[in-house]
Amino acid sequence: MTTTPSATITPPTPDPREHHTHHTHRPAAGTTVGALLAQGGQQLPEALRKLDPRHLWRSPVMFLVLLGSAATTVAAVADPGVFTISITAWLWLTAVFGNLAEAVAEGRGKAQAASLRATRTDTVARLLADDGSESEVPATQLEVGDRVVVEAGEVIPGDGDIVEGIASVDESAITGESAPVIREAGGDRSAVTGGTRVLSDRIVVRVTAAAGETFLDRMIALVEGTSRRKTPNEIALSILLASLTLVFLAAVATLAPMAQYAGAPQDVVVLVALLVCLIPTTIGALLSAIGIAGMDRLVRVNVLAMSGRAVEAAGDVSTLLLDKTGTITYGNRQASRFVAAPGIGADELRDAARLSSIADQTPEGRSVVDLALTQGADDRDLPTGATFVEFTAQTRMSGVDLSDGTEVRKGAGSAIAAWLGAEQPAEVHDIVEEISRAGGTPLVIGRKDRHGAGQVLGVIHLKDVVKAGMAERFAELRSMGIRTVMITGDNALTAQAIAKEAGVDDFLAEATPEDKMAYIHREQEGGRLVAMTGDGTNDAPALAAADVGVAMNSGTAAAKEAGNMVDLDSDPTKLIDIVEIGKQLLITRGALTTFSIANDVAKYFAIIPAMFVVAYPSLDKLNVMDLATPQSAILSAVIFNALVIVGLIPLALRGVRFRAASATSVLRRNILVFGLGGIVVPFVGIKLIDLVVSTLPGLGS
């Protein structure tokens, strides 16, 4: 062992060998048809409540549907008939279905919020006065700067930093992760969150957020959607949809006098039906649900985005700054090979290395034993009478003393040389140099017999092991146009070797917070959006500067404040998932917009001939779907228009499937599915609906 462990208790780290997808998924609300139907049923009253014009006003498209429904209702009351009443009913359903999508999306968040709220019970805080006396006050009355005492079994009353003590804390209320984490005063693990529970020991916490503004409060507001505002891209899309709506409004409104001229005056019901079919109701109805569901997907991978803007930015990111340790590499150096000194057998070195490490419980020590075993060493315990020699800062070596007086040591080359009292052989020196150059850490193995005669046996090559699958992951990102940059405190030589092995595009060696900041600014000046993770207070400026700054939940309050997302699992590889979720959100929005507009083609072919076939019999040739009667044609188009909203709710909530690939291939696929599909599907759908509708009395031929 060459380094001292940093703390006596280490927080439970995720099993490093598990792929990046290690996060405790929150129980995902089902997206199966059955589950959705159930949710739809539950949310129906909410959907009806949302018919309030003051609510629908936010979406001009749906507002127009509401106005249209009202107009046809008046017409239906004045002149009731099967056709008029059917159209009116389906127009109302169109508005309800739109609300239903939003209500279902919000409903999922509300369920999560309710479970979070349950943890925010009426906690009583033990306020610590300056003289050391304690008094009990309700948590809601805590102010920033107050100091409170929390002991084992108690709930932490508010967000704060530990100023005294160390404790293991159950944060499952927020992270869903059941394993406790260690929080201690000072350093980057001092932040605690209100609503979490102390499991052991006693800590003194200085409150950093007033009641109502705590992390838990913000989290509840976020998942509930109460703080949801339209994101920039959503606003831009809404503008486009509003202008399309106006164009169609002009087209339909002016059609009235044109039809009059053509000798085929049209009922207001028919005109409204045409208008509702044309305006982009599909995307208009699903737009907010897509946004809510996108945030929800993030919450389910345990990431809290403080704004929808950050989620969109994640889709645009073109540079990822990733910390080496724990993200790209397992974080512990591991033995990768043994290099024997001249005249020493490979087996001899292997066994000596194993012997020196059997009792060494550090990850490095265990990796030496593992490597020896894979190379065929005996799996025997330490011989009796052997004593383990621990690493100390003075000796900079560890090893074992056997009962026969033999001593085996492993350590830095200079330490072993000093122990042996002799210079290293030139060959060993060369090996040590070579390993250092390649970015590894050389551990020299030396042995003394009971007479004190010593020799160097060889060298263990320790290196940072790149996590499995990372190179492929980075290649995927590269194909999506995203550069990965490795941030490390290692020297340039070491960094370069690991960067090459991991397949990152660039690296920042011996990185200081200032270096990170400068790198981010350089990228941003070139127009690139940067995403990074961080946990320390000194990361805060860079987190704030990055377009997507993901703070680790285990990090300091300053870091969490600076970032625009918090990862509750504190897993830096999550950044890659966040980027994908951002992209998926945008793709879903674009796909449904394209689908919605493409749908209109078929609706025209259904409705226009139906409207004018009497005045211009030749227009019957446009009735390519061969719909039974003008009434059934128009009603079928309206029904399709309403049903397609319901049909697409699952897609809006789940998001369009996203595969990492170049923009060109992603676009080609989506244009084919949603553009071409959007043109073809309604032709089939309207025809099928017409087959049913035309059998109804009063609508068929």
Partner 1 sequence: MSDTLGGLLTIALLVALLAAVYVPYGDYMARVYTSTTHLRVERLVYRLSGVSPDAEQGARSYATSVVGFSLVSIVVLMGIQLGQAVLPMDRGLPHVPFWMSFNTAVSFVTNTNWQSYSGESTLGFAAQMAGLAVQNFLSAAVGIAIAVALIRGFVRSRSGSLGNFWVDLTRGTIRILLPISFVAAVLLVAGGVVQSFSDLTMQTLAGHSQVLTGGPVASQEAIKELGNNGGGFFNANSAHPFENPSSYTNFLQVSLILVTPVALTRTLGTMLGNRRQGLAILGVMGVLYTLTLVAATWAEVTGQGAAAQAAGAAMEGKETRFGEWASALFVASTTATSTGAVNASHDSLTPVGGGAALVNMMLGEIVPGGVGAGIYGILMMAILAVFVAGLMVGRTPELLGKKISAQQMTYVALYTLTTPALVLVGAGVAIALDPTSEAMGNSGGHGFSEVLYAFTSAANNNGSAFGGLTVTSDFFQITLGLAMLIGRLVPIVLVLLLAGSLAEQGTVPATAGTLPTHKPLFVGMLVGVIVIMTGLTYFPSLALGPIAEALV
Interaction with partner 1 in 329-358: which residues (CB under 8 A)? none
CA distance 599 to 681: 8
Q: Which of 593, 631, 641, 694 binds partner 1 (CB under 8 A)?
A: 593
Residue among 653, 641, 584 at smallest CA distance from 39: 653
Q: Which of 111, 210, 412, 622 binds partner 1 (CB under 8 A)?
A: 622
Query: Any contact of residue 677 with partner 1 (CB under 8 A)?
Result: no
SS3 state at 371: helix
Question: From the CB of 21, what's the least distance to partner 1, in Å?
Answer: 19
Query: Any contact of residue 594 with partner 1 (CB under 8 A)?
Result: yes
Secondary structure letter of residue 297 according to DSSP: H
Interaction with partner 1 in 526-555: which residues (CB under 8 A)? 526-528
Q: Which residues share a beta bridge with 487? A: 323, 508
Q: Which of 460, 587, 610, 635 binds partner 1 (CB under 8 A)?
A: 587
Query: Any contact of residue 604 with partner 1 (CB under 8 A)?
Result: yes
**Segment near partner 1 (CB under 8 A), from 79-87, 126-134, 207-215, 577-585?**
577-585
CA distance 316 to 528: 9
Query: Any contact of residue 640 with partner 1 (CB under 8 A)?
Result: no
CB nearer to partner 1: give 281 or 594: 594
Q: Which of 3, 42, 243, 403 binds partner 1 (CB under 8 A)?
A: 243
CA distance 630 to 614: 10
CB nearer to partner 1: give 189 or 603: 603
Looking up tokens 């998926």, which residue turns up? 584
Query: Any contact of residue 255 with partner 1 (CB under 8 A)?
Result: yes
Site residue total, partner 1 (CB under 8 A): 74
Q: Which of 193, 302, 398, 584 binds partner 1 (CB under 8 A)?
A: 584
Looking up tokens 């002009």, which residue turns up? 250
* 569 labelled catalytic: no
CB atoms within 10 A of CB 338: 24
CB nearer to partner 1: give 388 or 604: 604
> Which amino acid is present at 399?
G
Query: Any contact of residue 265 with partner 1 (CB under 8 A)?
Result: no
Q: Which of 90, 338, 612, 683 binds partner 1 (CB under 8 A)?
A: 612
**Segment near partner 1 (CB under 8 A), from 52-60, 384-392, 578-586, 691-699?**
578-586
SS3 state at 9: coil
Cβ 127 vs Cβ 160: under 8 Å: no
Q: Which of 153, 664, 697, 701 binds partner 1 (CB under 8 A)?
A: 664
Residue among 258, 52, 150, 190 at smallest CA distance from 536: 190
Query: Any contact of residue 685 with partner 1 (CB under 8 A)?
Result: no
Query: Any contact of residue 459 with partner 1 (CB under 8 A)?
Result: no
**Segment near partner 1 (CB under 8 A), from 56-64, 245-253, 300-308, 495-503?**
245-253
**CA 547 vs CA 17, 55, 79: distances in Å:** 30, 32, 58
Q: Is 145 left (phi over 0), alpha (psi -120 to 50) or beta?
A: left
Question: From the CB of 509, what's the least distance to partner 1, in Å?
Answer: 24
Name the catalytic one among 146, 159, 188, 323. 323
Cβ 464 vs Cβ 439: under 8 Å: yes
Q: Which residues share a beta bridge with 441? A: 462
**Segment near partner 1 (CB under 8 A), from 12-20, 310-318, 512-520, 564-572?**
310-318
Query: Any contact of residue 493 with partner 1 (CB under 8 A)?
Result: no
CA distance 652 to 31: 11
* Cβ neighbours for 653, distance < 8 A, ≥ 6 positions apart: 31, 36, 101, 104, 105, 289, 293, 296
Q: Which of 598, 634, 648, 681 binds partner 1 (CB under 8 A)?
A: 598
* Total count of residues recorded for the chain: 701
